[in-house]
Chain A
Amino acid sequence: MNAAPSNRHDVRLENVTKQFGGWTAVDDISLTVKGGEFFSLLGPSGCGKSTTLSMIGGFESPSVGAIYLGGEDVSRQPSYKRDVNTVFQSYALFPHLDIFENVAFGLRRKGLPKAEIETRVRDMLALVDLTSFIKRKPGQLSGGQAQRVALARALVNKPKLLLLDEPLGALDLKLRKQMQIELKRIQSEIGITFLFVTHDQEEAMAMSDRLAVMSKGRIEQVGTPAEVYDHPCTEFVASFLGASNLIPGQVVDRGGETMVVKLEDGAVVKLPAIALAASNSADVKIGVRPEKFLVLAAGESEEPGWNVIEAVAGVSVYLGVSRQYMMESKTGRPLSVYAQNSGRAGELAPGETVRLAWNPAHTFAVAASQIQPAEGE
């Protein structure tokens, strides 16, 4: 089962909107997923990611806009005619059919010859390591096994695109991690485009080639996990993908490749001008991830060109790989700082004043007007 070029199909959404009654679940989304890509839709519940997936799967049709699959407009095509398969959140295995028949279901509908069905189902069950369960009923499987059957049942049809709707949501943490790796392995083995929906930012980052962060029916940002994590372009994205420190400030100089911002506590910091390409507003918030800070020892000077602010250390939590400090800026703004356990600095006492330094390249900026979203769910 090598990646055949024919399996590689773009998925394109053009200005897709979905309304239910007066409620807009998906609001004017445009998106292109490249063939063979592992793409994630990430966002809190109710952000429209599952509705988007339903429209691509053919279970809902867009109120406005079009969906293209490999160049063909499939917006009005019912799901049973669409060359897309889904791994459902609840697995939705057919309880009255055994594992073989569950996996064979799609192939039988396509009217393939018996011998071919037999071979393909057996090959697929071997791929997900379930050969010995062939005669079992879904009720006799564990969560992880059921998950793999659901995956096999979809993949055996060799769809142009595989949709995965929070498929790991029901599994415990250990199994989840295992299945994440398993999914990546299978995806790279067969080369089908995977469109993965999750509210778990860690999962999305670990698995995706690229991801789209969604909020309130809109796409906030699209990019590789590193791009989206390191250079979030909205406050929502910054706080949805891990912890971040956001400090309000005024743009002093926007010219050239480096932008200069004066923070609320008077400190002046530099950052790449592209970090705030989208907005012309003078009011900004600059952002630094907690692990990007370097706690300078007393009297230690920062590397040339780095940004520095002063902070007062508060309580800390020791996590082995790092020590996480709750600090306060001079204006009393809480800051989260992760000091790596590299042995270069001792534990800071609460109340101790320190200088925090970071590389300007690790600074992002967002427009200041946005409202702080709730973390996670």
Chain B
Amino acid sequence: MRRLRGKLAPYLLSLPSWVYLIVFFIIPLASMLGMALAVGDPLSGYTISDNFQEFVTGFTSYEDAFARSFWYGTASTVITLAVAYPVAYWIAFYGGRHKSTYLFLIMLPFFVSFVIRVLAWEFILSDQGFVLGPLKAIGLLPQNFHLLSTQWAVIGGLVYNSFAYYVLPLYVVLEKIDRRLVRAANDLYASPATAFMKIILPLSAPGVFAGFLLVFVTNVGDFVNAALLGGPGTYMIGNIIQDSFFENQDYPMAAALSSILMLMLMIAILLYSKAFGTEAIQEYAA
């Protein structure tokens, strides 16, 4: 009896997680896939069938939105990395005893609702707002210049919102790097720049990798930034899915598009980890 209980213990302990996963992930996922294959309309209801037409239609008619999503996702992630790395580096190496204060300050804006933050950017970037307005008034920018509804406003919004999510994983790996390794590299004729390239950068690769996934996946599927900061020309696939669902109540299309996006992201992640290797991550985790 006791042995049996001992054997069952791990399963029993993980039971809450299993229940959670099944109820909130497996079942919704299955129902989404089912809905993607359904036929019908909002009034008379839907029946699940083997109709793959939505996948084909969804993919062919919204190619642009998919392409845009991946472009915005990639661009915003790369820019976020470029901005977040120096910040994480500085906190980890020069933060001293105020490290947690700096991290807290970076997290601070996140106590404000996501939508409010994006709306604030809409206000900041508006054509006659307090940034562009004065610049136009003194003639530094032409009157017809605008940022809102351009892809740069959307990418900028994505960068702003993912900044902290990239700083944190980078900080964690950079903080762990033994400073004596830099000293050893200097001792072996590596200038500070070379020591960074040969020691710090490779050792922080797991953080770069993890942060990239985290930010990229979130940003590709985002629709709020595009909806508030962009225009019709910057529609991302998230916006299309939202419209299909709420505006057109075309549930099968929304579900099909979501499934396609999920599949594409999975393929992208797979290719990405093949290219950059998960080996390094496992090594450092050990």
Roughly how many angstroms separate A88 CA and B178 CA in the complex, as a whole number? 13
Q: Digitize B196-212: 1 where CB-to-A-CB distance is under 8 Å, 0 elsewhere.
A: 00110011000000000
- The interface on chain A, measured as residues whose beta carbon lies within 8 A of the other chain's beta carbons, has a size of 26
Knowing A92-B180, A94-B181 are in contact, say whether A80-B187 is a contact too (CB < 8 A): yes
A80 in complex: contacting residue of B178, B190, B199, B203, CB < 8 Å: B190
In the complex, 24 of the A-B residue pairs with CB atoms within 8 angstroms, ordered by the A residue number, are: A57-B187, A58-B186, A58-B187, A59-B186, A59-B187, A78-B186, A79-B187, A80-B186, A80-B190, A80-B192, A80-B194, A86-B187, A88-B180, A92-B178, A92-B181, A93-B184, A95-B284, A96-B202, A96-B283, A105-B185, A109-B190, A139-B283, A157-B188, A157-B189
Find out whether the CB atom of A94 lies under 8 angstroms from the CB atom of B189. no
The A-contacting residues of B in range 140-183, CB under 8 angstroms, are: 178, 180-181, 183
Q: Which 7 A-B pairs have the closest CB atoms?
A: A106-B188, A92-B184, A109-B189, A92-B180, A79-B186, A80-B186, A86-B187
Question: Which interface residue of A81, A93, A105, A139 has the most chain B CB atoms within 10 A?
Answer: A105
Closest CB in chain A relative to B286 CB, distance in Å: 7
A86 in complex: contacting residue of B184, B192, B194, B203, CB < 8 Å: B184
Interface residues of A (CB under 8 A from B): 57-59, 78-81, 84-86, 88, 90, 92-96, 105-106, 109-110, 137, 139, 153-154, 157
Interface residues of B (CB under 8 A from A): 178, 180-181, 183-192, 194-195, 198-199, 202-203, 280, 283-284, 286
Roughly how many angstroms separate A79 CA and B190 CA in the complex, as a whole number? 9
Closest CB in chain B relative to A79 CB, distance in Å: 4
In this complex, what residue of A is CB-closest to B179? Answer: A92
Closest CB in chain B relative to A213 CB, distance in Å: 26
Roughly how many angstroms separate A60 CA and B4 CA in the complex, as a whole number? 63
Find out whether the CB atom of A94 lies under 8 angstroms from the CB atom of B184. yes
In this complex, what residue of B is CB-closest to A81? Answer: B189
Chain A residues in 8 Å Cβ range of B188: 80, 85, 105-106, 109, 153-154, 157
Chain A residues in 8 Å Cβ range of B284: 95
Find out whether the CB atom of A92 lies under 8 angstroms from the CB atom of B189. no
Chain A residues in 8 Å Cβ range of B199: 94
Find out whether the CB atom of B203 lies under 8 angstroms from the CB atom of A90. no
Roughly how many angstroms separate A250 CA and B19 CA in the complex, as a whole number? 89
